[in-house]
Amino acid sequence: MDFASLLGIISGLALIVSAILIGGNADVFVNVPGMMIVFGGTTAATLLTVQFKDVLNAFKGAFIVFTSDKTNPQEMIDTMLELSRVSHRHGLLKLSEVQSDSHVLQRACDLLAEAASEQVIRNTLQNEIDSLISRHHAVQDVFRKMGAFAPAFGMLGTLIGLIQMLSQLDNPNAIGPAMAVALLTTFYGSMLSTMVFVPIAGKLKARTLSEVTNLEIIREGCISILTNDHYMHVYEQLSSYIPEAQRKQIAIGKPG
């Protein structure tokens, strides 16, 4: 699991729960009707806005992101440099034997082995990048919408509670507890938005940027291999995609 995500979830929940326990009785923060309004309303509004399969894909994508390691652009650069060495020593046809977990890299190697033109390779890989961005944007949009709906339904639950409270003004002893229950739905909505939905959307966006960087490295690496660029030229071009402090230095005398 991504360490930053795990740390954020644990620390955030621990701080909120600690504040509740320090402040007094935790039972007052449990209100089933309020949960029904916020959880049910957020779910219903989301399903009305997007297709059911998109919601399922969003949660599947979030699970994959939070349980898998982040892709490392430096590793992809190393892979492209190795492919450059292979092509220089054995020719482009040798790249057809490359096996990779990345279907985009596999497809790129097949195009190189088939001696596809630079424009075909560039267009094909750019389409892959655009398609990935579009799919990931749809997933992020589900959580962004849920992050917007949750506080709104929290406020709706508060209004319902206030109406019920005002209907009991003839009983002053019931006003305080009723007000507390009314505010709980706002608490539920705000917590869901700020602790769950919005952070997940942000994490998904960060992962998208990382994956796009990897695909761009594949695209530019393949173009460099196709044009038979020198090993060091490939390295200098691809290393520009990552911060200088994270670049792995290589010897100038590498074969190529």
Q: CB of 57 within 8 A of CB of 138?
A: yes
User: Domain residue spans in the chain?
Assistant: 1-30, 32-246
Q: What is the pLDDT of residue 9?
A: 77
Q: What is the pLDDT of residue 246?
A: 73
Q: What is the pLDDT of residue 1?
A: 58
Q: What is the pLDDT of residue 45?
A: 95
Q: What is the pLDDT of residue 256?
A: 41
Q: What is the pLDDT of residue 250?
A: 64
Q: CB of 143 within 8 A of CB of 43?
A: no
**Range list of H helices, the chain:** 3-23, 32-35, 41-49, 52-67, 73-90, 103-113, 118-166, 172-192, 198-226, 231-239
User: Which residues of the chain register pLDDT less than 50?
Assistant: 252-256
CA–CA distance, 3 with 67 (Å, rounded to integer) = 9
The tens digit of pLDDT for each residue in 195-210 reads 889 988 998 998 899 8
Q: What is the pLDDT of residue 180?
A: 75
Predicted model pTM: 0.81
Q: What is the pLDDT of residue 254?
A: 45
Q: What is the pLDDT of residue 253?
A: 46
